[in-house]
Every structure is written in structure tokens, then in C-alpha cells.
A and B are shown apart, each in its own frame.
Chain A
Amino acid sequence: MRTRIKELRARDSLTQEDLAKRVGVRRETIVFLEQGKYNPSLKLAYDIAQVFHVAIEELFLFNDEDSVSKT
């Protein structure tokens, strides 16, 4: 999975600190999210998507192997 957080942050001229303040997390959490080192909770993913006015699936891009169905 990769994220478009960095790209959307640049689009909206937001710093990591600004985004962290808007969604109520530490700046380190935003750094980890951008580096793909952390898989956020649904609540945090939703809050970040709200900040950028995009859908969650536009923010987090899944590879085929990430979304293997277990049915």
C-alpha cells in the first residue's frame, strides 16, 4: 500500500505539522504514514481524506497482493 498524502499536502500547501494538527495526531505519525511505515486506523484515514476532500481510496492506493480476498 502507498499513500498520496505527501502529494496532496504539497497541493494544498500544508506542512506535516499543519496536517497533524488538523487530524489530531503527532507529527511523527504523519511522517510514518508518508513513508508507508504505518497502516492507519479507519478513523484516521477518514479524517485525513476529509482534510484533502478526497475519498479514502484516492488517498491510499492498494496493490493487488494487498487486497487478496479471504473468502
Chain B
Amino acid sequence: MNKTKTLTIAMLAGAVTFFAGFMLYTSKAELTAFDIGVAIFVIFIVVASIPIIRARLRNEKLGLPADDELSDMIKQKAEAKAFGISYYMWAFIAIISMNMNFNPIVPIGIGMFAMGALFMGFWFYYSRNGVGFENKD
């Protein structure tokens, strides 16, 4: 079950990279700075997920679970932090968008990617530093 989940994550990451690369390669339009930014972000996510997938596979090979109560807590805390901060980010994006004549998809896309980046940043932070005594009360 866990191995299936890990392989699904790896395949999903590979598929996202492949389709992003394919779309950029076949695109007739000239690439904008936004397109290049999205491509860099996708590559960053895939590269960052490699050590996570390796750690999961290593644990599974040793007969250990890939997920446990600590990994769940780290994920929940990273999600909660990213969600809270994204309120301010969306407000900022809304103010900027009102004053500039953007295609609506651009601020929405930036916001979605930024939320993903916030989650990943917090996930890495808590994965390295632990969640301390969060559940002491």
C-alpha cells in the first residue's frame, strides 16, 4: 500500500515534468518571463521531491512505514502555516492586480504556485527542525 503510494508520487512528479517540458517545447508562442518562471518552479518541485521519494523507498525497503504520526504532524503544520500566510499573500495579489491590467490567469497562477512554495518551504523547515512541543497542551 505504502509502496504504491510512493511510486504514485514518483510517477506523478515525472508526468508533471514531462508535460510541462512537452508544452514548453511544442509552444509556438514566444516564452515570456512568466512561462520560464513556471518551468523553473516545476523543475524545483520535482528536484526537491527526489530526496523525499528516496527516503520513503529506503524506509519501505527496511520494512519501516513511509508515513507515521510525526510525518502527518509535519504535513498538517506546514499546511496550516501556508494557509494562514496565504491570506496576506492573496490580499497583496488582489491589491496589485486591481492597479495593474493583468490577464486574470496570471495572478491566480502566481497565487497557486506561491501557496505550493509556502507549503514546501514550511514542510522542509519542520522536517529539518522538528515540531518541538506543539502538542504539550
- By a beta-carbon cutoff of 8 Å, the part of chain A in contact with chain B is 1, 17, 20-21, 24-29, 32, 35, 37-41, 44, 66
> A25-B65, A37-B129, A37-B130 known; A66 and B70 CB under 8 Å?
no
B130 in contact with A20 (CB, 8 Å): no
Q: How many residues of B contact A (CB 8 A)?
A: 20
Whether A39 pairs with B136 at a CB distance below 8 angstroms is yes
Are A29 and B68 touching (Cβ within 8 A)?
Answer: yes
- A31: nearest residue on chain B (CB-CB)? B130
- CB-defined contacts of B69 to chain A, threshold 8 Å: 25, 29, 40-41, 44
B27 at the interface (CB under 8 A from A): no
Residues of A within 8 A of B68 (CB): 24-26, 29
Report yes or no: B64 in contact with A39, Cβ–Cβ below 8 A: no
B64 partner, pick from A17, A32, A37, A38, beta carbons under 8 A: A17
Cα distance, A27 to B64, chains bound together (Å):
8
In terms of DSSP, what is the predominant structure of the interface of chain B? loop
**Least CB separation from B135: chain A residue:** A39
Nearest CB of chain B from residue A21's CB, rounded to whole Å: 6
Question: Once bound together, how far apart are the Cα atoms of A20 and B58, in whole Å?
Answer: 13
Tell me which of A27, A37, A39, A40 contacts B59 (CB under 8 A).
A27
Per-residue contact bits, chain B 121-137, to A (CB 8 Å; 1 contact, 0 not): 00000000111111110
Q: Looking at the assembled complex, report how far the CB atom of A1 sits from the nearest CB atom of chain B, in whole angstroms.
A: 7
What would 5 more interface pairs be, CB under 8 Å, given A37-B129, A37-B130, A39-B131?
A25-B68, A28-B70, A29-B68, A37-B132, A44-B69
| Contact of A39 with B66 in the complex, beta carbons under 8 Å | no
Query: Which 6 pairs show the lowest CB-CB distances between chains A and B?
Result: A37-B130, A25-B68, A29-B70, A39-B133, A32-B130, A38-B130
Task: Quote the shortest CB–CB distance from B9 to chain A (angstroms).
Answer: 16
